[in-house]
Structures are given as structure tokens and as C-alpha cells.
């Protein structure tokens, strides 16, 4: 799409650019193959940077990766929907809605468990590989035999003024193409999902993935340039290539488009596997809310999966599922994490070279030993760091005005949020620490219990009975909003109050909470040292949501009002109100 603005003569540069991207892919594959064996328990950029570069670079890597996992879902699913729209143009206006439905479907599968999602996604993956390699093979055969003509009825690509072919234009096209490499780190992040021997199986998978990716990039680009495919939002290059190879939109065309759609949608599953794992790691280190580290009943990080789905869906809606609009936000964060990961690995091999034979260094993510080949390994990872850093800078410069500035701004904001969360957890830990703690204070000489009553009934008597178990100093408090009821309530209390002191507070404005709070605050000013005041509230518990809406949750209101007041305890005594129970 970038090259097209310079005219058809610039499209010939697509294949040399893809060769450069495949060379970069080879460097990354060799680099991450070393990472996989060095970190058998998972060696994503966050862990590698944390162990070798420090907390701040690790948080930068974490922020970049979390952002790009979200964008992986948005871009992958939007790309899949673009294939459907290519075959059925009438659906173009509904692409965002279709994409969101697909994200929700993937979320539900992942919430059922990783193993189940792996089995579910295996069949579409193999189906895609068979169809796309068969299509590319037939296309190359027809090209060699001279029977592959140009694309028929290509979509329109309107350019008012042709742009000159400049270095800046070439670099923009190159940076767009490097987005195809953004999944390379996923395997090093997800080593724990492999069977034993994990590192070996993960390394083999990485090499297979790189081989498939590289060969398809070369074959599809070469064929697309030859047939004169035109980049367009209305019809994808894959669709134009496939219908040209199969001479129309027959069964093989539809099968290939279906396979491509499925694999692009399933590609989002990479993020659904790795985003929750990474957010759990960061949460365990105290830089994200602890809830993200909790596993649900299916032993998956439910909060992480749900958060990813919601944010990705919002992006899809915001950008109307447009791949060309989302891509500029995409790769800069990934290449930032690539750079930090490879720099961390290069520093790791340097540390390895400083150890003596037989000596080991235990770090949080792995154990480091002396490696006699540390020079060569440091060179490979160092080369990977330099290459990805150059690509990151190219992307940041060439895509800055197209949306890269958002990621460049968002990353430091996220890091600041991480530090703020971490500071909060450290502050709470220091307040709860037993260091220099002399033990609890002396025995409380007095325990005063207050029981607010709206009326005399079974629920209030249950609360009163519980209050008398806590202390002999119990005071029942009734807010008098209807003077006519005062005498009736007094007679009931003489029969059921069991000698407990009753205080009736006037409320001329028919308020309930305010007079009660004033009374409690007055007691607080008169209380003895180390005296505890407990407010026991009768709480009606309904069995249906609509019944809950009919009752005032007094306990919750009091808890919110008095939560920051030292020496006050709010206890609610539930009384279950069930229509079924009453009938029985």
C-alpha cells in the first residue's frame, strides 16, 4: 500500500524489501532460539530485561508487549474480516461488528481452558497451511508455464498525485512489512505450554514457524507483484491472488479465503495465550493489580483474558476494523521489546563469560552457568538487538504522524502507572509489616455495640441476639421518622427488647443515615481509650436480583461512611427472606 502511491514502477521493490524482512526474520529466529534454551520456563522480553537490564527496562518491555498483544487481537481479527469482505463485499459496512463477535468467540474458547483452545485451533491451522501452500504452489507452476495472467478487475487505488520513490518512502514500506514478524517472540513467552522437553520442542516449533512464514512471505509477494495485485480496503491482495490463480471465485478460492480468515482470526489466540501470562507475571511483581494473577475455575487467567477482549474490541470499533489504520500503532512496541530482549540476552552471555567453570548464578528467571561459546552467542543476540533497534527507529520516524506517536506516548504513561501501582503495594506492605512491631495493644476494656433498627421484627431480633453475644453494653437505636409509630414501637420493644437500652432519635426531615451518623460520631468523641464501637446492622438477604433492589443496603452505606474511622467495626447480620421458605 505504501509503494502503490509511487505508481506501478515502485511495486517492483516489494520483493527486495521482503528479502530484507526475511533476513531480519532469520536473525530474530537465531536470537530467540538461544533465548528459548536459556529460559526454559519462559523467556519473554519482560523476564529477560528484568534479570539482565533492571526493573525500568523490564517495565518498558512489559508496557510495549501488553500494548501490542492488544493490537495483535485487533489487527489479526480485522485482517480476517477483511478476507470475508473481499469474498462478500456486501458485508463491508458490518466489518467492525463481525470482528467484535469473533473476538468474543475467541474469548469464550480461551475461558474454557488453554488445552481445549489448542485442540480447537489446530484444525483451522493445518487447513490453512494445506490451502495456502497448494495455492502458492499452483501459482508458481502457472507462472513458470506461462499460464498465469494479470489480476482481472482489480479494485481501484486512487492516487491524486504520484509520490516520488525516495528513501523515506522505501523505509515506510519496509517498516509496514516488518509487522509480519511481530509474533516471533510468542514462542519464547509460552514455553510452559509445550510438552517436555519444553525447550527442545519450542525451539523446533520456532524454526518451523520461521520457515513457513519466510517462504509464504516470499512466494505471496513474488506472485502478487507479478499479477499486478492492487492493495485495497475493499479486496485483499490474498483474495486477488487466489481468484487469479484459480480463475474465479470457485470452491478452491472460497476454501483458501476461509482458511486464511480462520488463521488470521486464530492468530489472535497468540495474544490470548500470552497477554494473560505476561500480565500475571507483572502483577506478581506488584506492578499491576493482583487480580490479574488469579486463575479462574478453568485454571486460566480469566481477568487477563476478559480485559484483553474488551480493550481490543474497543479499538476495533474505534478504527472501524481498518487494518491500514491499525498497523501504524502495531509494530513499534514489539520491536522495542525485541530490542530490550536481545540486549538483555547479550548482557546475559557477557555475564556468563565472567563466571568460572562449574560456577553458577541463580537469577529469578533462570540459572546462569559458564558457557564456553558465550562470545558467539553474545554476537548473535547483539546483532539481533542492533537490527531490531534500527527497525524500531525507522518505524518510529516514518510512522510517527500516522499513529506511532500514540504508542510512543502510551508506553511511558503505562510505565508510570506500573510504578504508581507498585508504590501503593509497597506502602500497604510497609503498613502491614511486623518489622519493629511490638504486638497488639492492651486488652480492650470496653466493647460498645450499637444496633440500628428500622422496626421490631424477626431480622432485628436476630441482630439483637448476635449483638448480646458480643457485649453486655448494647444500645438499640431507632430513627423516628413517623411520631405516630413511636408508641407502637415502644410497646413492641417492652415485649421483645429483653431489657436492652433503646434510644429513639428524632428525624424531622425523614432522614435515616444522617441522624445515626451524628449519634455514632457523638459516641466516638466520648469513648474511652482502646474502646471499640461495633455497629451491628440487620441485613435482609433476598434470593432474586429484583428483590434486592427493593431493600436499602444499610450495612453497605454505613460501611462506606465509616470505613476510614478508626475504632469502628461494621457487622451485618443476614436474615434470608425467601418467598419459597415462607410458603413452606
Instruction: Determine what percent of the chain is predicted with pLDDT higher than 70.
Output: 90
pTM above 0.85, yes or no: no
Mean pLDDT (whole number) for 559-563: 76
Domains of the chain as residue ranges with CATH: 3-424 (1.20.1740.10), 447-583 (3.40.50)
Label residue 582 by pLDDT band (50, 70, 90). very low
* pLDDT tens column, 121-155: 788 889 999 999 999 999 999 999 989 988 888 78
DSSP 72-86: HHHHHHHHHHHHHHH
At residue 544, the 3 state secondary structure works out as: coil
Question: Cα 463 to the chain's mean position, in Å?
Answer: 44
Instruction: Determine what percent of the chain is predicted with pLDDT higher than 90.
Output: 25
The beta strand positions in 436-485, using DSSP E, are 447-453, 473-480
Question: Is residue 443 pLDDT above 70, yes or no?
Answer: no
* pLDDT tens column, 497-507: 888 999 988 87
Q: How many CB atoms lie within 10 A of CB 483?
A: 9
Mean pLDDT (whole number) for 63-87: 88
Q: Determine contact, residues 154/240, Cβ cutoff 8 Å.
A: yes
- Least confident window among 14-18, 89-93, 511-515: 511-515
What gap in Å lies between CA 279 and CA 57, rounded to an integer? 16
- Least confident window among 282-296, 334-348, 545-559: 545-559
Residues 6+ apart with CB under 8 A from 281: 44, 46, 47, 62
What gap in Å lies between CA 407 and CA 262, rounded to an integer? 28
Give me the residue label for grid cell 432522614. Answer: 511
- Least confident window among 74-83, 183-192, 256-265: 183-192
What gap in Å lies between CA 584 and CA 578, rounded to an integer? 10
CA atoms within 13 A on the CB side of 526: 7
Q: Determine contact, residues 49/344, Cβ cutoff 8 Å.
A: yes
Most confident of 190-199, 211-220, 359-368, 516-525: 211-220
Label residue 298 by pLDDT band (50, 70, 90). low
DSSP 55-73: HHHHHHHHHHHHHHHHHHH
Label residue 581 by pLDDT band (50, 70, 90). very low
| All three cell numbers of 246 | 484459480
Amino acid at each position: 500500500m505504501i509503494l502503490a502511491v509511487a505508481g506501478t514502477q515502485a511495486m517492483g521493490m516489494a520483493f527486495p524489501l521482503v528479502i530484507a524482512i526475511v533476513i531480519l526474520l532469520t536473525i530474530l529466529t537465531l536470537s530467540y532460539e538461544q533465548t528459548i534454551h536459556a529460559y526454559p520456563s519462559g523467556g519473554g522480553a519482560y523476564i529477560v530485561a528484568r534479570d539482565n537490564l533492571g526493573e525500568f527496562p523490564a517495565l518498558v518491555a512489559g508496557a510495549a508487549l501488553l500494548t501490542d498483544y492488544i493490537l495483535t487481537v485487533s489487527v489479526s481479527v480485522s485482517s480476517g474480516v477483511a478476507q470475508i469482505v473481499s469474498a462478500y463485499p456486501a458485508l463491508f459496512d458490518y466489518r467492525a461488528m463481525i470482528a467484535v463477535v469473533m473476538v468474543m468467540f475467541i474469548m469464550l474458547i480461551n475461558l474454557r481452558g488453554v488445552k481445549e483452545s489448542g485442540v480447537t485451533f489446530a484444525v483451522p491451522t493445518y487447513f490453512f497451511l494445506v490451502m495456502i501452500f497448494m495455492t502458492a504452489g499452483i501459482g508458481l507452476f502457472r507462472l513458470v508455464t506461462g499460464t498465469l495472467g494479470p489480476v482481472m478487475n482489480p479494485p481501484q487505488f486512487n492516487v491524486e498525485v504520484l509520490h516520488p520513490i525516495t528513501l523515506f518512502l522505501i523505509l515506510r514500506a519496509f517498516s509496514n512489512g516488518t509487522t509480519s514478524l511481530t509474533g516471533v517472540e510468542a514462542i519464547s513467552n509460552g514455553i510452559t505450554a509445550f510438552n517436555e522437553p519444553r525447550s527442545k520442542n519450542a525451539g523446533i516449533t520456532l524454526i518451523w514457524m520461521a520457515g513457513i512464514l519466510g517462504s509464504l512471505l516470499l512466494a505471496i509477494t513474488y506472485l502478487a507483484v507479478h499479477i499486478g495485485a492492487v492493495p485495497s480496503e475493499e479486496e485483499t491482495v490474498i483474495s486477488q491472488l487466489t481468484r487469479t490463480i484459480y480463475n474465479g471465485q470457485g470452491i478452491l478460492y472460497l476454501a483458501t479465503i476461509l482458511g486464511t480468515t480462520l488463521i488470521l482470526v486464530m492468530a489472535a489466540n497468540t495474544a490470548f495465550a500470552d497477554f494473560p501470562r505476561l500480565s500475571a507475571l507483572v502483577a506478581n511483581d506488584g506492578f499491576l493489580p493482583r487480580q490479574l494473577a488469579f486463575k479462574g475455575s478453568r485454571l486460566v487467567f480469566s481477568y487477563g483474558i476478559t480485559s484483553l477482549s474488551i480493550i481490543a474490541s474497543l479499538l476495533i470499533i474505534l478504527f472501524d476494523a481498518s487494518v491500514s489504520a491499525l498497523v501504524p500503532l502495531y509494530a513499534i512496541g514489539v520491536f522495542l521489546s525485541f530490542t530490550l530482549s536481545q540486549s538483555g540476552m547479550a548482557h546475559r552471555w557477557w555475564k556468563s563469560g565472567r563466571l568460572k567453570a562449574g560456577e553458577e548464578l541463580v537469577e529469578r528467571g533462570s540459572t546462569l552457568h559458564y558457557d564456553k561459546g558465550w562470545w558467539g552467542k553474545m554476537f548473535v543476540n547483539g546483532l539481533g538487538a542492533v537490527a531490531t533497534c534500527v527497525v524500531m527507529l525507522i518505524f518510529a520516524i516514518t510512522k510517527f504522524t500516522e499513529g506511532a506517536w500514540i504508542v510512543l506516548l502510551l508506553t511511558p504513561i503505562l510505565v508510570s502507572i506500573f510504578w504508581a501501582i507498585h508504590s501503593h503495594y509497597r506502602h500497604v506492605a510497609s503498613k502491614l509489616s511486623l518489622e519493629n512491631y511490638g504486638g497488639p495493644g492492651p486488652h480492650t476494656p470496653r466493647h460498645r455495640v450499637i444496633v440500628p433498627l428500622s422496626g421490631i421484627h424477626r431480622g432485628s431480633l436476630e441482630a439483637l441476639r448476635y449483638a448480646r453475644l458480643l457485649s453486655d453494653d448494647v444500645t438499640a437505636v431507632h430513627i423516628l421518622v413517623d411520631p405516630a409509630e413511636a408508641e407502637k414501637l415502644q410497646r413492641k420493644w417492652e415485649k421483645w427488647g429483653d431489657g436492652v437500652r433503646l434510644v429513639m432519635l428524632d428525624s424531622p426531615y425523614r432522614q435515616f443515615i444522617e441522624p445515626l451518623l451524628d449519634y455514632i460520631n457523638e459516641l466516638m468523641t466520648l469513648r474511652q481509650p482502646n474502646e471499640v464501637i461495633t455497629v451491628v446492622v440487620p441485613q435482609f438477604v433476598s434470593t432474586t436480583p429484583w428483590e434486592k433492589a427493593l431493600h436499602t443496603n444499610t450495612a453497605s452505606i454505613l460501611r462506606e461512611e465509616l470505613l476510614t474511622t478508626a475504632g469502628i467495626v461494621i457487622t451485618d447480620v443476614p436474615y434470608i427472606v425467601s418467598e419459597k421458605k415462607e410458603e413452606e
